[in-house]
């Protein structure tokens, strides 16, 4: 997002780029000429004037990227990091969990060990053959291999990925699997059920010996209300690049806190999404983890100064203005057909 003051803000949207291009054409008459320092008002204007076009879909995803960029602009204009603008700094560093796709057991152990060597001390394994091979022994073998490679003192999280097309399991599988995960000291069980199975999520949370996490498929704060009021989650995971940006994400996070639900942002996206999550983590007392895709060029390969782990496996939260990161013009050329519009 470019301003007439010469400040450019960057954002990220989780959807097909062609949809974002189309969405921007619809939204441009609403944001062109607006005050770029009023992210929440401008973003709400976009929501209010487009909900009947497909609330929660392409336009909401595009609005997410716009809103993140507006917060980046506000930070650059004021000389402050976004986290401070959100209300204060609870932490200056946060632990990333290395997010990895599941593999067959032998390969799973090797992959986790590889990223442990790189300094990560928390891991999430998800999708792959888990649950999809219809083999509970294989499911357990994958988790066992990951736990052994991660080490018993490090965090291990499991994501079934039941938002996948034609997920084959229901509540009873999720309950049995949660019992198995308990034996491996798994920190949470994510997306254990189909995305619309609200009643089953509520039951699973009541009986599961491990915390239940979810919410990455939901968009806008209104969609989260029944899941929070009915007690479906121990940990809620909105994605800042989907829900409507930082403005919407922080409302969801504070709302979750009122119901005793922990907020940890979902972050399977880009380095800009990580940067937004880091700023959010600085501004919320219980956001002690951020998602970090292991080996993604969209995370590791587009910044002038890539993220680096410290000796304890933590990431420093950037204190530079805005999101605190800078896109590398040359690196981004590998992924964008024409990067010139990004750098006016």
Compute CA distances 166 → 57, 138, 169, 215, 220, whole Å.
20, 20, 9, 18, 25
Specify whether the CB–CB gap between 130 and 160 falls below 8 A: yes
338: left (phi over 0), alpha (psi -120 to 50) or beta: beta
Catalytic residue among 61, 169, 203, 266: 266
Tokens 């949470």 — which residue?
A: 188
The DSSP string of 200-229 is HHHHHHHH-SS-EEE-TT--SHHHHHHHHH
Mark whether 47 is an active-site residue: no
CA dist list (Å): 206 to 230, 231, 240, 263 = 11, 9, 28, 19
**Three-state SS at 303:** strand
The crossing angle, in degrees rounded to 10, of helices 58-78 and 39-48 is: 160
Residue 86 near residue 93 (C-beta atoms within 8 A): no
**Helix, strand, coil percent values for the chain (each to nearest 5):** 45, 15, 45
SS3 57: coil
Catalytic sites, residue numbers: 266
């Amino acid at each position: 997002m470019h301003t007439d003051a010469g400040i450019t803000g960057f954002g990220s949207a989780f959807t097909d780029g062609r949809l974002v291009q189309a969405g921007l054409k619809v939204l441009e008459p609403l944001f062109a000429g607006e005050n770029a320092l009023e992210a929440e008002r401008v973003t709400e204007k976009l929501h209010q004037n487009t909900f009947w076009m497909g609330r929660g879909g392409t336009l909401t995803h595009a609005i997410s990227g716009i809103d993140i960029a507006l917060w980046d602009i506000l930070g650059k204009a004021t000389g402050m990091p976004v986290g401070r603008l959100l209300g204060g700094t609870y932490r200056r560093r946060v632990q990333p969990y290395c997010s990895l796709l599941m593999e067959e057991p032998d390969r799973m152990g090797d992959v986790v060990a590889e990223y442990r060597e790189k300094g990560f001390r928390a891991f999430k394994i998800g999708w792959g053959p888990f649950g999809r091979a219809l083999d509970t022994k294989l499911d357990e073998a994958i988790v066992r291999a990951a736990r052994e490679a991660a080490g018993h003192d490090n965090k291990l999280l499991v994501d079934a990925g039941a938002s996948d097309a034609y997920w084959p399991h229901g509540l009873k599988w999720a309950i049995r699997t949660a019992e198995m995960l308990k034996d491996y000291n798994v920190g949470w069980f994510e997306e254990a059920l189909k995305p619309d199975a609200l009643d089953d999520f509520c039951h699973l949370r009541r009986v599961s010996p491990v915390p239940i996490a979810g919410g990455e498929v939901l968009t806008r704060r209104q969609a989260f209300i029944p899941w929070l009021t009915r007690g479906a989650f121990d940990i809620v995971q909105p994605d800042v690049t989907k829900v409507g940006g930082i403005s919407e994400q922080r409302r969801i996070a504070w709302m979750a806190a009122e119901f005793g639900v922990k907020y940890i942002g979902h972050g399977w996206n880009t380095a800009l999404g990580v940067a937004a999550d880091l700023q959010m983590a600085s501004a919320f007392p219980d956001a002690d983890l951020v998602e970090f895709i292991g080996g993604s060029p969209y995370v590791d390969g587009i910044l002038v100064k890539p993220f680096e782990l410290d000796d304890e496996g933590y990431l420093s939260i950037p204190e530079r203005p805005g999101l605190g990161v800078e896109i590398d013009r040359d690196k981004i050329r590998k992924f964008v057909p024409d990067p010139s519009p990004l750098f006016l």
